[in-house]
Amino acid sequence: MCYQLINFGNNTLQLHNNRTLLWREENILIASDLHLEKGSSYKLSGQFIPPYDTKDTLERLKKIIDKVKPNLLILLGDIFHDKYSLKRMNDTDKKLFNDIISKIKTIFVEGNHDANTLDLNRSTHKFYEKNNLFFKHIFSNEKKLEISGHYHPSVSIKHKGIKLRCPCFIVSKNKIILPSFGKYTGGLDLKEEAFSNFKYEET
């Protein structure tokens, strides 16, 4: 497993190539934008692609949790793709999802796709605060130390003449944006206008 250590407000964070972030001092695992059942949503519009993204996304998350054994899991919003996602999810994937969130304390931060979807008999948060860090779905312009998702950042690189597009983290002095964790979520290139005012640090 490849990762990079950074200091963020005197907190040691591990940015992992598996698209998660680990807060080492607190042993807290953070992931964003699972977009569960995005694949099955395409079927509703007549686009037939393999509807196995939920299974892949949840199995990857469980594997990471089993290895890291975090004290807390924070999901930074857009857990489901739309308000009918939970109803479309098959029983096997529902069981896997419930097994994950029942065995580890989980903080659900609400994302823009989560309206009317997070009926999980668990509390949800517009944002979550711990120590000096704020966990949100979309970062604000405030000078707080914020960890967020939403934008699905990605970067384009060339390797041996082949152009590759890879998910990435964006890090600035007081903001971190996580890549999307979901199988079918895609990414927004760092050169896009949405990041024009975000002064990130290349590492």
pLDDT single digits (tens) 120-131: 556 688 899 999
pLDDT, tens digit, for every residue of 30-85?
A: 999 998 988 766 666 666 666 678 999 999 999 999 999 999 999 999 998 788 88
Contact present, 50 and 38 (Cβ < 8 Å): no
Looking at residue 140, its amino acid is S
CA 82 to CA 111: how far, in whole Å? 11
CA 77 to CA 149: how far, in whole Å? 8
CA 178 to CA 168: how far, in whole Å? 7
Residue with tokens 């989980």: 106
Looking at residue 190, its amino acid is L
Cβ neighbours for 103, distance < 8 A, ≥ 6 positions apart: none
Q: What is the pTM for the complete model shown? A: 0.89
CA 119 to CA 192: how far, in whole Å? 34
Encoded tokens for 91: 């029983």
